[in-house]
Amino acid sequence: MPSLSTLSPEQRADLRTTLREEYEALKAQGLKLDMTRGKPASEQLDLAAEMLALPGNRDTTAEDGTDARNYGNLQGLPETRALFAPVLGAPADQIVVANNSSLALMHDVLVYALLKGVPGGEKPWSKQEPITILCPVPGYDRHFALCEGFGIRMIPIPMTGEGPDMDAVEKAVADPAVKGIWCVPQYSNPSGETYSAETVRRLASMNPAAPDFRILWDNAYTVHHLADERPALANILEACAEAGNADRPIIFASTSKVTLAGAGLALLAASPTNVKWYLAQAGRRSIGPDKLNQLRHVRFLRDAAGIAAHMERHRALIGPKFNAVEEAFAARLDGWEVASWSRPLGGYFITLDVTDGTAGEVVRLAGEAGIALTPAGATHPYGKDPHDRTLRIAPTFPSLGAVRKAAEAVALCTLLAAVEKTAG
């Protein structure tokens, strides 16, 4: 197949006409498909159906004698912390198990840092304004929304395939206003890449000018494999401790995409100093988390092998959806040199890089044909993708048939937008 750039003007005009006709036919189908958010499908939630009957009304006492129905135990039950220790790569006494949203934990950590400061800092972050957080791009829009909402400046840092461009990170942290970096280190949202050991080593050992610098390590997809090939992620807590920077990382994770997205458990892991700091703040906010949900999770998932087995069931449901997107993209776009896309080994997203300057147009075309996509730019701070190039495709929620249809439609819109752009 010829690439778009090698077509004669006549061939290009013919192609445009054909694609336009196809697009009109697509519109006439009156589709209504939603590929916007990385939500689990209801069949995935069904996998945890039995959990809802647990722990039962006679099983409410935790291993340490805590009555899970009552107030208290801010850090979480010991058996719940032990369950997630291997997942987080942290000892159980350095783990906090909270309620249903890790995003809420990230929000709270930012608020506490802004109002109170973090260990190692002389003043609250809000008294050192304007502060900055580094944002690897493409990245997670809700991280950026937190920063924007609190008036924290953001500096985009390009991703390289092995995590953020560490030359750019090391340069940026020479500014004492730079207080942190967002990281989704495994199966990153949305690029799917996993940080290399060298990236982790450099993050752990770099020398930020700010003494109160934090790595916000959002390991949301750590057990969410889609393939037998599983890239190993180096342990950030250990790497930072070895480099003499034990207080640098704060790890976040949750069971939102393991058990139930609205009723899972949120997890935080960090150095003993950071955990003490977090609990001191959180203790004013709440008298304790929902420990019945913690027991429910322990009874249902049991151990690391139980978590891994459960995640295989997810993979069986969503793996075919990722494959369907890849097949549809390849079938329509291979050879034209108008787009490239990720083939993630895990996580919840596929990144589609379309022809520069056409991402917004692809979203518009798809929208008019009834396929809702995450807005172009969402993968960048302030919603601004300077190349208007990157789209995030979320294939988990719709049915397999709908995903296939939507991906075929997106591929058509991608090629059409590229042809129309080059036609001038």
Give the footprint of ligand PMP on this chain (CB under 6 A).
38, 101-103, 140, 184, 189, 218, 220, 254, 256, 266
Question: At closest approach, how far in Å is the CB of 149 from ligand PMP?
Answer: 15
Q: CA–CA separation, 129 vs 117, rounded Å?
A: 12
- Least CB distance from residue 37 to ligand PMP, whole Å? 7
> Least distance in Å: CB of 420 to ligand PMP?
32
- Cβ at position 241, least distance to ligand PMP in Å: 24
In the complex, minimum distance from the CB of residue 131 to ligand PMP, in angstroms, rounded to a whole number? 21
- Going from the C-alpha of 311 to that of each of 42, 254, 259, the distances in angstroms are 15, 13, 9
Residue 42 or 57 having the CB closest to ligand PMP: 42
Cβ closer to ligand PMP: 140 or 278?
140
**Exposure of 22 in the CB half-sphere (CA atoms within 13 A):** 17
**Amino acid of residue 360:** G
User: Which is nearer to ligand PMP, 103 or 409 (by Cβ)?
Assistant: 103
Give the position of tokens 């801010």.
74
CB of 288 to ligand PMP, least distance (A): 19
Helix or strand run (H / E) with residue 341? strand 340-341
**Both tokens of residue 108?**
């709270």
With 0-12 / 13-18 / 19 or more C-beta atoms within 10 angstroms meaning exposed / middle / buried, residue 130 is exposed
141 vs 361, which CB is nearer to ligand PMP?
Answer: 141
Which residue, 213 or 397, has its beta carbon nearer to ligand PMP?
Answer: 397
C-beta nearest to ligand PMP: residue: 254
In terms of Cα–Cα distance, which of 227, 229, 230, 199 is closest to 215?
A: 199
**Residue listed under structure tokens 């369907």:** 324
Cα gap 48→115, rounded to integer Å:
38
| The token pair that represents 15 in the structure block | 């192609």
Considering the complex, state which of residue 140 and residue 300 has its C-beta at the smaller distance from ligand PMP: 140
258/415 with CB nearer ligand PMP? 258
Minimum CB distance to ligand PMP, residue 181 (Å): 14
The sign one gets for the Cα dihedral 220, 225, 229, 235 is positive
Q: Is 254 helix (H, G, I), strand (E, B) or coil?
A: strand
DSSP H helical segments within 7-122, as ranges? 9-28, 42-46, 78-88, 102-116
